[in-house]
A and B are shown apart, each in its own frame.
Chain A
Amino acid sequence: MIEKPRIRVKTFKIDGIDVTGRADQTVLDVAIENGIDIPRLCYMEGLKSIGACRLCLVEIEGQRGLISACTARISEGMSVLTKTDRLLKYRRQILELLFSERNHQCAVCVSNGHCELQNMAISVGLTHVDIAYLNPKLNIDASHRRFLNDPNRCILCNRCVRVCDEIEGAHTWDLLGRGVDTRVVTDLDEHWGISESCTGCGKCVHVCPTGALSEKGVSVAEMAKRRNFLPYLKSNRGIS
């Protein structure tokens, strides 16, 4: 006889609204199910959440620190706040830091108009950046036959690393360096075009939120990404 798994349901509040979720869900999962928008950039349905971008930070009443909603497990009776003045201020600052750390010239970017970073700026009302731009010198890797890696647009969300590892199983991408100097690299920081592990599947390109990874041959504003394959692949392979 197959024993039915016991589903534990927990009830709590998000922004004063009563919500329920399964014990294994995160605050962000439950918020999305209930139509409560929490800004996010590194989160992607179908990939493991790592809390890298910090945009989904929320306050939990009674807890001193802020916590990323994409990694926070729900608990009975908790009260989550997603839109306090403190959070709005921090989210704005995080976006300003993301824009100032690399060279984001939206006007000449392949992802202009399809970019999650750009959309996030609109949603928090960001029309300028107060922090001085770092203008780092970063080389574009155009060695791959079909794809392009432009680190000038990268926000280190880690989606490419995760999709390549968790879904494609190749683990071509990884991170090199620390802090503001971190870069996503292929294999052992070799050119993408000579990578022996890359299968050329292109999933990394399509989960990338900005114009950092793109297909060759597209011009300004032409790089719309297709992402609906992810939950499908995930369920097909029995990955939880």
Chain B
Amino acid sequence: MKTKLATLWLDGCSGCHMSFLDMDERLIELAQRIEVVSSPYVDFKYPDYFPDGIDVAIVEGSVSSEEDLHKIKLLRAKTKFLISLGDCAITGNVSGMRNLIEIPDMMDFVYNETADVNKGVMPTKVVPPLLKKVIPINQAVHVDLFIPGCPPPADAIYYALSELLNGNTPDMSKVTRFGK
């Protein structure tokens, strides 16, 4: 039986997902043992967003909106082993820099002060309600493994996944760090 893997993209730049793809030919090797059941990489749709019985979930980005919070809680409930991938997921990082500004001031800066089109028009749909503070994933749900880096090197992701598939506990501080 293949290991069921899900990946989730919250408030991040997708660089961590790009770094995952940078595993290159090793993806083929991993595909022998892993089945991707939900991810921005694939196009499965489920009534409750995620399928049941996920073995490993990799989450990129911080928890910044009510939608993020809803998704991470759903995913945690259906996942055995959850990985925080990258500095935004672990510390807030660049996504968390808005914590220094009040939300109305930030919205004004983005949709008014620096806007080139529709100046001063605030979004009423698509943009989900923001949480007052951006938080790391481990402040919303329990996290089993942290892979820091911005983005974490493909080698670090490969090391973590292959160790987990072989039933070992990876020591991530040997292969990556904050800001790597």
What residues on A are CB-neighbors of B135 within 8 Å?
132
A129 in contact with B91 (CB, 8 Å): yes
Bound together, the chains give a CA A113 to CA B180 distance in angstroms of 7
A240 adjacent to chain B (CB < 8 Å): no
What residues on A are CB-neighbors of B172 within 8 Å?
127
A17 adjacent to chain B (CB < 8 Å): no
B150 in contact with A107 (CB, 8 Å): yes
The stretch from B38-46, B113-121, B139-147 touching chain A is B139-147
Bound together, the chains give a CA A228 to CA B171 distance in angstroms of 34
Most chain B CB within a 10 A radius of its CB, from A99, A125, A127: A127
Bound together, the chains give a CA A127 to CA B144 distance in angstroms of 12
Main secondary structure of the interface of A (DSSP, over half): loop
A125 in contact with B173 (CB, 8 Å): yes
A178 adjacent to chain B (CB < 8 Å): no
A128 in contact with B96 (CB, 8 Å): no
Q: Which of B22-65 contact A (CB under 8 A)?
A: none
Main secondary structure of the interface of B (DSSP, over half): mixed
Q: Which of A80-139 contact B (CB under 8 A)?
A: 99, 103-109, 112-113, 118, 121-122, 125-130, 132-133, 135, 137
Interchain residue pairs A-B with the least CB separation, the first 4: A106-B179, A107-B150, A135-B99, A127-B146
New A-B pairs, 12, CB < 8 Å, besides A103-B99, A106-B93, A127-B148: A104-B178, A105-B87, A105-B96, A105-B179, A118-B177, A122-B173, A125-B173, A126-B173, A128-B138, A128-B146, A129-B91, A133-B136
Residues of B within 8 A of A (CB): 84, 87, 90-94, 96-97, 99-100, 133, 135-136, 138-139, 143, 146-148, 150, 171-173, 177-179
10 contacts between A and B (CB under 8 A): A99-B91, A103-B97, A105-B93, A107-B94, A109-B179, A113-B179, A121-B177, A133-B91, A133-B99, A137-B100
